[in-house]
Structure 1
Amino acid sequence: MLTKNFLQVGDKAPNFSATAVYEQEFKQIRLSDYLGKYLILLFYPLDFTFVCPTEIMAFSDMYDQIKSLDAEILGISVDSEYCHLAWMQLDRESGGVGDLRYPLVSDLRKEISLSFNVLNDEGKSLRGLFIIDREGIIQHYLVNSLDVGRSVDETIRTLRAIQYVQSHPDEVCPANWQPGQSAINSSLNHSKEYFQSI
């Protein structure tokens, strides 16, 4: 019999409670606070590094578009809340990330990263990205090495595709699907119509 000891798509996301920094203040956040919305969890290695600020700022810059899709973002690293605050109090030109549009969560005890299976042997979080639906179910995850940043545009495309198939249960989204493009009817007979049209 196969045993599963790691998270996968379709699992309930592990709940957590932790201190976050948002709008220059400390705030207690629980994953369960976000039930009823889509949530992007953005794990990253460390503050004050190289690739990390490019991702953190890029997601903040696209926050309005993500929020318009009934979704929120949480950034998570193993830094303390004080480190997060110092990073956010520095402007971008000085090596900080400035005011962000979403909270940064402190995972100093590394329990959140461990529960989402993104903690590496050095005690840092890998670049794990999870999209969690309104019911708290993991619908997508992607894990990059420390050296490779993620795409905000692809995250938004994936979020839209997830939302589309959840609201159209008889359809599935093909490769590179974008809103407004044809999806595939998931019945064997009707699926042929899509392939005949491409």
Structure 2
Amino acid sequence: MILTAQKAPNFTASALLPNGKIIHDFNMLKYAKKKYILLFFWPLDFTFVCPSELLEFNTLYEEFEKRNVCLIGISIDSVYTHHAWVHTDLKNGGIGLMKYPLISDLTRNIQSIYGIEHPNLGISLRSSFLIDRDHIVRHQSVNDLPIGRNIHEILRIIDALQFHEKNGEVCPANWTSGKKGIIASPEGIRNYLTQKYKNHIKK
């Protein structure tokens, strides 16, 4: 399922909050208010690639905060399994306390409405959704289970979206923060290409 450029499905579910409290009426849009949202799914707690991703999101949490992005993570585990995982030491396969909420999708309803359920295993694929302040999905990525995400690439995509919103320019291949964008017009792309790829121009 492709949700990019469509309204993000909202949901209400049980959640383990960063303060350690468990609630059963967590609502994605109410929690995020008017922030951007980076909604990410991982397959299962106490597994192998997943803790490295959650810890990397946690390490870079302040970078998301700087960009006014609300991090929300989801798996099919119960909130009590989430609670056990964050209270298990890293050397025993735990992840420690997280700075963002961990949502329980026991019914598998959320992964279903986001279209990222594994075809055979009933768990989610390794998926991320960038949702803007109007609740439109602006980017989505879906990895198969063995392939971990690049969290810095997610930050780059957020930077690209916010650059476009601020300047109206579009972001070319391999764009990173601080580089030039392209004015979205025939003249704009001609100017960009002749400057960027001048060595390719036939003399």
Q: Supply the distance in 2 between the matched residues of 1:90 and 1:64 (Cα, whole angstroms).
A: 23
Q: Report the CA distance between 1:35 and its aligned residue.
A: 3.9
Q: Supply the distance in 2 between the matched residues of 1:188 and 1:115 (Cα, whole angstroms).
A: 39
Corresponding position of 2:125: 126
| Residue 29 of structure 2 is aligned to residue 32 of structure 1 | yes
Identity percentage of aligned residues: 38
State which structure, 1 or 2, has the greater radius of gyration over its C-alpha atoms: 2
**SS of residue matched to 1:155:** helix
Q: Report the CA distance between 1:155 and its aligned residue.
A: 0.3
Corresponding position of 1:9: 4
What's the CA shift string for 1:99-154, capped at 9, x where partnerless? Answer: 11111100000000000001113110100110000111000000000110001100
Q: Supply the distance in 2 between the matched residues of 1:108 and 1:66 (Cα, whole angstroms).
A: 27
Corresponding position of 2:142: 143
Instruction: Give 5+ residue unaligned stretches, structure 2.
Output: 197-203
Q: Report the CA distance between 1:168 and its aligned residue.
A: 2.1
Corresponding position of 1:47: 45
Q: Report the CA distance between 1:164 and its aligned residue.
A: 1.0
**SS of residue matched to 1:184:** coil
Contact 2:15 2:26 in 1 (8 A): yes
Consecutive aligned runs of 4 or more in structure 1 exceeding 6 Å deviation: none
Q: Report the CA distance between 1:85 and its aligned residue.
A: 0.4
What's the CA shift string for 1:61-84, capped at 9, x where partnerless? Answer: 100011110001111000000000
Corresponding position of 1:168: 167
Matched pairs, number: 192
Contact 2:77 2:106 in 1 (8 A): yes
TM-score (ref. length: structure 2)? 0.92
